[in-house]
Amino acid sequence: MAISELHASHIRKVEVSFCLIGPDLDPEVVTTRLGLTPDQAERRGDERRHQRSGAVLGLFHEGLWALGSLPRVDSKDVNDHFRWVLGRLLPHKEAVLELARGGEVFFNVLWKSTYLYAGTGPLIDAECLAGVAALGGGMGFDIYQVDEPEAERRAVADHGPDTV
């Protein structure tokens, strides 16, 4: 199921991230077992820092291993992002399930759009939902309204988001 051109015209950013967390999770063990390089890996006790200032915000209370679809997937269809992430993880399903014991698996969907109204959010197809379920994953959504000046909206509609 592809998204319509009208629906895509409002979308500014989509990303799907897979997260494995647990109190004793060792991200190096996850990387070795899965043979995948994470976008983020933290041990319990590592410092949490502010992304911009670098100020210490506290410590990580659990280990974290995360893999996201950006910048690898250039699509406004959330299912393309899910398929990319699931394509890397499902071949290692048993290892993921084993590594998740005592912890949690979840997928986070980041969705930014200039138009949020009933039915304009991410539509996840059955194949992707089945993949998430096969890995024992939950799902969360970060959905944001992006306000753009009218001139910028027209330029994106006329020429695409890469020209603005």
Question: What pLDDT is recorded for position 4?
Answer: 83
pLDDT per position as a tens digit, 33-88: 999 999 999 999 888 888 899 898 998 999 999 999 999 999 999 999 999 999 99
pLDDT per position as a tens digit, 142-157: 999 999 876 555 555 5
Enter the tokens of residue 53.
């200032």
User: Listing from the earlier edge strand, what are the strands of the sheet with 63-68?
Assistant: 40-42, 63-68, 11-22, 104-113, 138-145
CA distances from 161 to 71, 78, 126, 152 (A): 15, 17, 29, 9
Which pTM value belongs to this model? 0.85
